[in-house]
Amino acid sequence: MKVMKRPILQALRQIPLLMVMASLMAVAVNHWRETPLPLIDDWSATARLTDRDGKTPAIHLDQAKQLFERKTAIFLDTRPQSQYEDGHISGALSLPWQDVTSAFTEIAGELEDNQTIVTYCDGENCELSHDLAMFLKEMGFTDVRVLINGWTVWQDAGLPSRKTGEADER
């Protein structure tokens, strides 16, 4: 029995040492990569949208509110049609990401190339608005912004919204 205990004890001592060595090797390889991965990073929704040049299409609620009040932007709701009908930013158009190809042709005439477009969905981790923003940029629109967690922050701020078939709320 003594013979069997010894290899097990030896393996239990070697496992942590192997893990430390593997971790050090991983850090070293990452350090010498052409584009090293950050060991500590900002994983917020805004940071996830930032490109390599430091530019982000994310827009803060205050900026979106100003664009809304000045009527200098068009808002696009990327959520499914049923959620749009249950409530959306007043004046926003529905462009559900699931039906983007067919829905885009329906509203394309209402969009201008140089107009600010604000896309939004709901939930901080919702990527639909970002996906739509990238789609619109590929279609040639230059000023496309993303209101992160748009519907929730808009409602929480008490800004104008409406349900399909109802008058605007304040």
> What is the domain-level CATH number for residue 68?
3.40.250.10
Q: Does residue 23 fall inside a structural domain?
A: yes
Taking Cα atoms as reference points, which of 75, 79, 71, 57 lies closest to residue 143?
Answer: 57
Q: Please tell me whether residues 51 and 17 are part of one structural domain.
A: no
Other C-beta atoms lying within 10 Å of the C-beta of residue 134: 16
- Report whether pLDDT(45) > 80: no
Same domain, 151 and 85: yes
Q: In the predicted model, is pLDDT for residue 75 greater than 70?
A: yes
Mean pLDDT of 10-30: 90
Helices 100-107 & 128-138 angle (0-180, nearest 10): 60
- The answer to the question of residue 60 being in a domain is yes
Q: pLDDT tens digits for 114-133?
A: 889 999 999 877 889 988 98
Work out how many domains the chain is built from and give that number: 2
Q: Is 151 in the same domain as 97?
A: yes
Contacts 24+ apart (CB under 8 A), 54-57: 57/130, 57/133, 57/144, 57/145, 57/146
Q: Do 29 and 56 have their domain in common?
A: no
Q: In terms of DSSP bridges, do strands 161-162 and 88-89 run parallel, antiparallel, or are they unpaired? A: antiparallel
130 lies in a domain?
Answer: yes
Residue that has been written with the tokens 């969009």 in this structure: 111
Predicted pLDDT of residue 168: 46
pLDDT-based confidence at 1, cuts 50/70/90?
very low
Q: How confident is the model at residue 94 (pLDDT cuts 50, 70, 90)?
A: very high
Q: Mark whether 132 and 78 lie in a shared domain.
A: yes
pLDDT at site 76: 95
Cα–Cα distance between 65 and 137 in angstroms, integer? 22
Tokens 């013979």 -> residue: 3
Which of 41-45, 115-119, 145-149 shows the lowest mean pLDDT across its residues? Answer: 41-45
Same-domain status, 119 and 106: yes
* Domain range for 92: 45-162
Shared domain check, 54 and 100: yes
61, 157 in Cβ contact below 8 A? yes
